[in-house]
Structure 1
Amino acid sequence: MLALDHISKSYGPRRVLDDVTWHVERGELLGYVGGNGAGKTTSMRITLGVATADTGTVTLDGQPVDDAVRARMGYMPEERGLYATMQLHAQLRFFAELRGVERRAAARSADAWLDRLGLAERRHHRLEDLSLGNQQRVQLAAALVHSPDVLVLDEPFSGLDPLAVDVMAQILREEADRGVPVVFSSHQLDLVERICDRVAVLAGGRVVAVGSVAELTGDEGDRHLVRADGAPGWLAELAQRAPALHATVRPQGDPGDPAGAVTLRAAEDALPLVVDVVRRHGVLRELRPWRPSLTDVYRDVVGATVDPADQTDQTDDHRNREERAA
């Protein structure tokens, strides 16, 4: 198990991480999500030893992570850390040898990953000659070429087409299945929801939610979506009567929509009363079970007002300014 325990980090007056704690079990995929400046990149760099925490510990299977352990980790940075003019096969072999892999074994591993990622015919091409998506594939291969014991990936799906996303998702699942703790950050919350075992949500340098998707979305089977004409009238009465119904009412979408919708958490035996309220004010168009998506949960816990897919982690900007000032 890879664990971050009570990690805090400041750059000057700015507290980037504030008592961050999460873990990822062996054989598990952890999705790490958060908005601008949330601190995802900084916490990943601390995990890899690229940055140093002010307080807290990073452990693997209960033991402090030292340089020897970090040499067995695979890291994929958001900003590519490869050599633009170096041929792909030579580059991957070089990275494997840096991690202690014997030369011939490193060459075989480089061949295997280039083949798996659809780049075998370009093994002698320079990195700069590839598209950005294919460069992303090479970056993944560089993280995997030495058969790491841990995988830490920062925005690995960025810039990939849907087919490449599927290939990368399958590879990460296979790595987890062989017992590797895998943690990756992403703004593609639908993808995180689909492939991850657990999710950690970071906001303002703090972990504000962590758990399985079912735990985070509260999938107890008592939520419903109600849509009807005449929204202002029935919505007002439904909200007024909600406490007596032991229900929770939340508007969805534009409150001014004449066919507006609300989500309702209520027991099954309260639904007839809900129907009565709605029909007194309009025409019931839809009543069905509803489960919030991870995006819904994210917006709730983070309080975001923008599409998470449009957000980027700006933590590196804060770090770089500090480094330039030093």
Structure 2
Amino acid sequence: MITIDSLRIRDGKRMLLDGVTMHLPQSAVHGIAGEGRGALLRAIYGDLQPEVGTISEAGHPLQRREMVLLEADPRFWPGLTARDCIGLVRWFDRKVNPEALLRRFPVPLDTEAASLGAEARKHLGIILTLMRGKRILLLDEPFRELTPERIFVMQQLLLHLGSKGCTVILTSTRIPLIEGVCDDLYLLGGGKVLARYEHYELGHLGRDAESGSGFPEN
């Protein structure tokens, strides 16, 4: 169980999260929507230091080496091709084979990664994230920039990851995309947890969001 307890995070004078508490079981796919969702993922990963509160697993601090973070807009070092980026991950683990992921998310391997278009950058970010083989995956807007075909592929991968024991925490503003994928969904707003929904409630929630009562983009 990952426990987020009374988390408070500021960005300068702006309060992003204030008293956020969540209990996230392992081996499940958890959705986060609403304001401050990206900040929450960065805090879990250790990139943002909370002013107050703790993030733990089974009573112990989460270890960054157990996690990987996919940014909403993946960024890469200038001068490195997509092939170079994949090679760097393989240098740490030669058993990793990216071929199946490259078939699902095609990338021009000999193009500079930083100069790729938004869709190809997202493909490469997904490939590098999943190659890492971590048991906790933090995915910020994993469906953004994907075509409908690739969205379906990503949905199937998420279901597979949850079934094989990974804990996935993802953000999304498009609730219909996570219906049938997430085990639960937390809605944030005003720095608080406004609501928590079970998987069987997401269909109704998604129809409400699509009808005009969508969630904030920030």
Q: Contact 1:78–1:154 at 8 Å: present in 2 too?
A: yes
Match of 1:150 in 2: 136
Alpha-carbon separation, structure 2, partners of 1:8 and 1:50: 14
1:238-317 correspondence to structure 2 within 5 Å: 292-296=204-208, 308=214, 311-313=216-218
Contact preservation (8 Å) 1:78, 1:155: yes
**Closer/same/farther in 2, CA of residues 133 and 5 from structure 1, 3 Å limit:** same
Q: 2:71 aligns with which of 73, 77, 81?
A: 77
Aligned equivalent of 2:53: 56
Superposition deviation, residue 31 in structure 1: 1.1
Structure 2 CA distance, aligned partners of 1:42 and 1:129? 26
Contact 2:73 2:122 in 1 (8 A): no
CA-CA distance at 1:157 after TM superposition: 0.6
**Deviation digits for residues 42-94 of structure 1, max 9, x if unmatched?**
111110110101111111233211xxx21221111113222354221220232
Give the direction of change, closer, same or farther, for the CA distance of 1:195–1:186 in structure 2 (3 Å limit).
same
Preserved contact between residue 155 and residue 178 of structure 2 (Cα < 8 Å): no
On the 8 A contact 2:162/2:168 being kept in 1, the answer is yes
- What SS does structure 2 have at the residue aligned with 1:308? coil
Q: Tell me the TM-score normalized by structure 1.
A: 0.61
RMSD, matched Cα: 2.5
Alignment of 1:23-34 (within 5 A): 23-34=23-34
3-state SS, counterpart of residue 75 of structure 1: strand
1:91-147 deviation digits (Å, cap 9, x = unpaired): 0232455xxx34x33xx434443244334xx33332245432121111111212110
- C-alpha distance in structure 1 between counterparts of 2:5 and 2:207, whole Å: 26
Maintained 8 Å contact 2:67/2:137: yes
Count of aligned pairs: 218
Q: Percent identity, aligned pairs only?
A: 23
Aligned to 1:268: none
Q: Aligned in 2, Cα 1:31/1:295: closer, same or farther, shift over 3 Å?
A: farther
CA distance in 2: counterparts of 1:147 and 1:17, whole angstroms: 29
Counterpart AA for 2:15: R
- Aligned partner of residue 180 in structure 2, secondary structure: helix
User: 1:40 — aligned with what?
Assistant: 37
Aligned residues of 1:213 and 1:294 also touching (Cα < 8 A): no
Following the alignment from structure 2 to structure 1, what is the Cα–Cα distance between the partners of residues 58 and 130?
Answer: 20
Stretches of structure 2 that go unaligned for 5 or more consecutive residues are none
Q: In 2, are the aligned partners of 1:93 and 1:110 still within 8 Å (CA)?
A: no
Task: Return the alpha-carbon distance in structure 1 between the equivalents of residues 33 and 105 of structure 2.
Answer: 25
Distance 1:26 1:210, change over 3 A: same
Measure, in 1, the Cα distance between the counterparts of 2:100 and 2:19.
40
Larger radius of gyration: 1
Bigger RCO (CA 8 Å, 6+ sep): 2
The alpha carbon displacement at 1:198 in A equals 0.5
1:2–1:181 Cα contact (<8 Å) kept:
no
Which residue among 154, 167, 187 is the counterpart of 2:153? Answer: 167
Match of 1:89 in 2: 83
Checking the alignment, whether the CA contact within 8 Å between 2:83 and 2:110 is kept in structure 1 is yes
Matches within 5 A, 1:193-272: 193-214=179-200, 216=201
* 1:109 maps to 2:97: yes
Structure 1 segments unaligned to the other structure (5+ residues): 218-290, 300-304, 314-326
Change in Cα spacing, 1:110 to 1:30, as seen in structure 2 (3 Å) is same
Q: TM-score, normalised by structure 2?
A: 0.88
CA contact (8 A) 1:2 1:25 kept: yes
CA distance in 1, matches of 2:74, 2:153: 19
Q: What is the deviation of 1:26?
A: 2.1
